[in-house]
Structure 1
Amino acid sequence: MHIPDNYLSPSTCAVMAAAMLPVWRWAGRRVKQELTRKKMPLLGVGAAFSFLIMMVNLPLPGGTSGHAVGAALAAILWGPAFAVISTSAALAIQALMFGDGGVLAYGANCFNMAFVMPMVAYALFRLIAGRFASTKGKAAAAFLAGYVSLNAAAFLTAVEFGIQPLLFTDSAGRPLYGPYGLDIAVPAMMIPHLLVVGIMEGLVTAGVYRYVSKASPGLIYEGGRLSLKKAWAFLGALLALTPLGLLAAGTAWGEWGTDEVGGLLGYIPEGMRRGFAWKAPLPDYSLVSLHAVAGYLLSAAVGALLLGAAAWLVMKRLPAKAAKPDGAERGHE
């Protein structure tokens, strides 16, 4: 679901970024109000989890690939404002360091995966989970929240792709940016997400939620004592598993390079050919001098460490007056 640069027009990117500005402002204020210095490392945990889970790609029918996002789990465990900030941070590191998702398209990617997805997941989970007293029932609600929210984000991504050839064409009537209309973009995005990727998101959301609820309830926002040891261990295990993403050899639908687009269409849309090109330090999570697995592991470690460092810096800058006792924190309802 990572939209690369030049698939959306600059005006579309500007509109999507503008739409995210009030969301980031609201989420930043809410997180600052709700998280103490003691619990601020949870931002690093949530962002690193989202970053790492998005590196574990699944092979999909048709030779493409897809991945979970983790935003639903963050919203359920720690609230939608937290999920907006942590997922936005993960998407920023992916775009700037690894070229995964466009820099100009950052606002659109955040709108889909860091705003709509956690908001839908949180609302659906709160609606359903309240009907169950058991952990199994709440885990089932978490599964549905993950599944539905991921597909909501995928649908918006498909619409953003699909409207480009309707709105932006050259003098010959050919698309300037994303070349496929809604009739192709929507089924191409939705079929694999409905049948495979959404199920993966739901299973990850439900499985981790159930584990955290039983093994370390202090990690949940409403919980009492904070215990991050198991969270770091979990992230370490997830980091070690990231090379499994290399098994999905195909490129995700709509994330092709310009050469691949040229091969598919017989020409490269003018907006893509002349568009913005960001040179990421570690493109495609790899280093030329390293084996693919080693490069992928190094990239995963670098991304997780950068997100952890960012959370640490935020914690250091947090005013002392925001450090409330654990029992005095506000809920996120």
Structure 2
Amino acid sequence: MHIPDGYLGPQTYGSMFAVMVSLWAKAYSSMKKKVKEETIPLIAIGASFSFVIMMFNIPIPGGTTGHAVGSVLLSVLFGPWTALILTSIVLIIQALIFGDGGITAIGANCFNMAFAMPFVGYFIYRLIRGKTPISSKRSLIGAGVGSYIGLNIAALLTALELGIQPIISKDSQGLPLYCPYPLKVTIPAMMIEHLLLFGIVEAVVTVLVLYYLVKTGTIKEESYHV
């Protein structure tokens, strides 16, 4: 799902970066007020976990990749604003050091995977979980469903951002300047793999990790929720 350099025009990556700047400011303010010192080690482990699973990229036709993300799990454990910051840090490090995702596309990649995915996933998780404890079956089901839908929302946004480039960015001869694939190519290319494979992997990983953390007593009813 990492969009590389050269596939988004300045209209798209510039606007996405501007949106993310305001979201990063809001998230930082939220973390600064609520984060507790004892939560920092687990937060760091959560960010490391997201970094590792995102490094297992499988190329997808259309100029991007498919992989698990872990941002919905982070939002379940720490809240969506903290998940936004953690996932953004991971994506920025991957782009700057490992070349995984373009530097110009940082804003778009963060919008898709660090904002849309954890917030949508968290909303669905809370809707299914209701007022039951985090150790309940409804909590695990909610985390799995939220992860699956959240990942696919991020994949859809990626497909839309890529697919509109031939429409909004053309040269004098009408040829696309950036991503050459239209929506009829990008949407199926992204969604088939994520609906049938990567979304399921994301859900399974999220449920298993959450179950392990609850069973081992690592997390206790929102004690790490910031």
Name the structure 2 match of 1:178: 179
In 2, the alpha carbon distance for the partners of 1:30 and 1:87 equals 15
Q: What per-residue deviation string (whole Å, max 9, x for no partner) do you get for residues 68-91 of structure 1?
A: 000010001110011001000000
SS at match of 1:8: coil
Bigger mean CA offset, 40-49 vs 71-80: 40-49
In 1, the alpha carbon distance for the partners of 2:85 and 2:52 equals 16
Q: 1:48 deviation in Å?
A: 1.0
Compared CA separation, residues 171 and 193, structure 1 to 2 (3 A):
same
Name the structure 1 match of 2:40: 40
TM-score by length of 1: 0.63
In 2, the alpha carbon distance for the partners of 1:142 and 1:56 equals 21
Number of equivalent positions: 223
Compared CA separation, residues 118 and 221, structure 1 to 2 (3 A):
farther
Task: Look at both structures and tell me which one has the larger radius of gyration over its CA atoms.
Answer: 1
Q: What per-residue deviation string (whole Å, max 9, x for no partner) do you get for residues 112-150 of structure 1?
A: 000000101111101101165663222111110000000
Name the structure 2 match of 1:144: 145
Amino acid at match of 2:163: G
Amino acid at match of 2:28: G
Alignment pair present for 1:159 and 2:160: yes
Name the structure 2 match of 1:192: 193
Name the structure 1 match of 2:223: 223
In 2, the alpha carbon distance for the partners of 1:39 and 1:171 equals 55
Contact 2:24 2:85 in 1 (8 A): yes
Amino acid at match of 2:178: Y
Name the structure 2 match of 1:246: none
Bigger mean CA offset, 52-61 vs 137-146: 52-61
In 1, the alpha carbon distance for the partners of 2:222 and 2:132 equals 18
| Aligned alpha-carbon RMSD (Å) | 2.0
Name the structure 1 match of 2:94: 94
Amino acid at match of 1:190: M
Name the structure 2 match of 1:20: 20
Q: 1:59 deviation in Å?
A: 7.9
Q: 1:164 deviation in Å?
A: 0.1
Q: 1:65 deviation in Å?
A: 5.8
In 2, the alpha carbon distance for the partners of 1:58 and 1:135 equals 33
In 1, the alpha carbon distance for the partners of 2:197 and 2:30 equals 34
In 2, the alpha carbon distance for the partners of 1:115 and 1:32 equals 18
Name the structure 2 match of 1:236: none
Contact 1:217 1:223 in 2 (8 A): no
Q: 1:8 deviation in Å?
A: 0.2
Alignment pair present for 1:209 and 2:210: yes
Name the structure 2 match of 1:116: 116
**Greater RCO, CA 8 A, separation 6+:** 1
Q: 1:58 deviation in Å?
A: 5.3
Name the structure 1 match of 2:78: 78
Amino acid at match of 1:20: M
Once the two structures are superposed, the pairs formed by residues 321-332 of structure 1 within 5 Å of their partners are: none
Q: 1:221 deviation in Å?
A: 7.3
Runs of 4+ in 1 over 4 A off after TM superposition: 58-61, 131-134
Once the two structures are superposed, the pairs formed by residues 61-72 of structure 1 within 5 Å of their partners are: 66-72=66-72
Compared CA separation, residues 211 and 141, structure 1 to 2 (3 A):
same
Q: What per-residue deviation string (whole Å, max 9, x for no partner) do you get for residues 32-66 of structure 1?
A: 111122322333222211110111245889xx962
For structure 2, the residue ranges without an aligned partner over 5 or more in a row are none
Name the structure 2 match of 1:129: 129
Compared CA separation, residues 39 and 132, structure 1 to 2 (3 A):
closer
In 2, the alpha carbon distance for the partners of 1:57 and 1:13 equals 22
Contact 2:164 2:183 in 1 (8 A): yes
